[in-house]
Amino acid sequence: MSTKPCCKTKPPELSLHIDSPPPPPLQKWSQFYPLIITFLFVIGGALVTQSASFEVYDFLTNLMGILLITFAYLKLLNPKGFRTSFAKYDLIAFYIPVYGYIYPYIELTLGVFYGLHLYSLVINSITIFFLVINLGQVARALILKKPLECACMGSLGFKLPLSYVTISEDLVMIVMAGVMIGTQ
């Protein structure tokens, strides 16, 4: 029995798919899509509170409150995963594991106090304290070139890399708290 010559070779369309290069890696900005969309929603929520007239202090207070409550919520969806991810770059959470479980509640409490506009000087000072510690530890991890996942949005599979974006997030929140202290 003879074989047909057409059956011995791969069809051209299949060889193109088999031999094609792998898809390009994710664009850097697209890795941060969950964080970007979260910030847009939080900013929108804070702007809605300014419908009567725009007051910078009130906007920043509401923005910080909504942001902290949102981040606490995301962390509390998977507390064990957050603690594990957080402890990879936060030395306090590494050496005192319960801190990784408490941290989202600290954020939630601060966020509620921001939302209620209570004890502004104390809340802004505590926020700066925690964020400066976090900023230092993120910077340390980046200097050591540790390829880690940012735990800022919990451990929900977003795979946000620990990066300059994490540092920027902390710096912006520190500046916001500082501006609120300065405008009281």
Tokens of 100: 């990784």
CA 130 to chain centre: 16
CA distance 80 to 83: 5
Per residue in 33-70, pLDDT (tens digit) is 777 888 889 888 888 988 788 888 999 999 999 999 99
Residue 73 lies in a domain: yes
Checking phi first, is residue 55 left (phi over 0); if not, alpha (psi -120 to 50) or beta?
A: beta
- Predicted local confidence at residue 16, as pLDDT: 40
CA distance 101 to 113: 20
Sole residue written with tokens 């994710």: 26
Does the reported pTM lie above 0.75?
A: yes
Residue 93 lies in a domain: yes
Whether 12 shows a pLDDT value over 50: the answer reads: no
Residue 83 lies in a domain: yes
Residue 119 lies in a domain: yes
Find the domain containing 117 and state its range.
32-182
SS3 179: helix
Number of domain units in the chain:
1
Per residue in 79-89, pLDDT (tens digit) is 998 899 889 88
